[in-house]
């Protein structure tokens, strides 16, 4: 087995295990962490198969967008400690049936596919677009680019030499957003606690005043 085959098996195993972690976990934050490994693994599979553009889109849209939105939604809407999710037996049965049908469909599709006689290279236009997103400038024209539209070829050869600073800035922005969400949630809890304390004090004062008012006629 070649190195690419070994990497494919390892990454596919990581994706499968993390997907099972998403399904079997009862804590929504742990589900998000498992989902992170799943989405990153799928993006790595795209890169390994030569679909660099799809891998970059997977990282940007799903890992950088959907997952972050899920985490922020949980952090900003949770009013207390997160409860564990309970799955009904009927839901497990329906999910198992659907997963089995999907597995059978995929197995039948793979069984009917003819075995390739030669290695299939990357699709035309995929590698240049991926290289453009990764900041690698292609200077020598390739034979696979002859049939591409002019705009996609130029996009693939566009020099993007600031990928690392861009990623560092994005990580810093993510840290700032998480900190802002945490501070907003802590401030909301503090205001709620102060309001409840003031309400308790006012109730105690009213009850004490009513008690004193009722005891005054007895003394006279």
Q: How far apart (Å, rounded) are the C-alpha atoms in residues 63 and 42?
A: 10
User: Is CATH 1.20.120.1200 what the domain over 1-78 is classified as, yes or no?
Assistant: yes
pLDDT of residue 142: 47
* Polymer length of the chain: 220
Res 104 pLDDT > 50: yes
pLDDT of residue 115: 66
Q: How far apart (Å, rounded) are the C-alpha atoms in residues 131 and 147?
A: 18
pLDDT in tens, 3-48: 888 888 899 999 999 999 888 888 777 888 888 899 899 999 988 8
pLDDT in tens, 108-161: 887 877 766 555 555 555 555 555 555 555 554 444 444 444 544 454 444 445
pLDDT of residue 203: 67
pLDDT of residue 134: 55
pLDDT of residue 62: 80
pLDDT of residue 17: 93
> Sorting pLDDT into bands at 50, 70 and 90, what band is 195?
low
Choose between 220 and 110: higher pLDDT.
110
Residue boundaries of the structural domains of the chain: 1-78
| Element containing residue 151 per DSSP (H, E) | helix 150-156
First-to-last alpha carbon distance for the chain, in angstroms, is 102
pLDDT of residue 129: 56
Choose between 81 and 42: higher pLDDT.
42
Nearest in space to 126 (alpha carbons), one of 150, 148, 94, 97: 148
Choose between 36 and 188: higher pLDDT.
36
Mean pLDDT (the chain) is 71
> Sorting pLDDT into bands at 50, 70 and 90, what band is 90?
confident
pLDDT of residue 151: 46
Residue owning tokens 């999907």: 102
């Amino acid at each position: 087995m070649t190195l690419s085959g070994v990497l494919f098996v390892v990454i596919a195993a990581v994706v499968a295990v993390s997907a099972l972690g998403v399904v079997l976990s009862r804590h929504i934050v742990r589900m998000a962490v498992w989902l992170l490994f799943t989405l990153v693994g799928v993006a790595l599979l795209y890169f390994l198969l030569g679909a660099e553009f799809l891998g970059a889109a997977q990282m940007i849209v799903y890992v950088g967008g959907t997952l972050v939105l899920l985490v922020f939604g949980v952090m900003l809407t949770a009013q207390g400690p997160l409860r564990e999710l309970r799955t009904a037996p009927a839901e497990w049965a329906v999910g198992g049936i659907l997963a089995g049908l999907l597995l059978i469909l995929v197995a039948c599709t793979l069984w009917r596919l003819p075995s390739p006689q030669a290695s299939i290279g990357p699709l035309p236009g995929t590698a240049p677009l991926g290289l453009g997103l990764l900041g690698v400038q292609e200077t020598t024209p390739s034979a696979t680019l002859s049939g591409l539209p002019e705009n996609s070829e130029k996009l693939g050869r566009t020099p993007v030499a600031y990928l690392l600073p861009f990623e560092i800035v994005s990580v810093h922005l993510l840290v700032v957003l998480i900190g802002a969400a945490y501070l907003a949630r802590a401030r909301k809890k503090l205001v709620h606690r102060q309001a409840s304390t003031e309400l308790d004090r006012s109730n105690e004062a009213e009850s004490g005043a009513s008690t004193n008012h009722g005891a005054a006629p007895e003394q006279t």
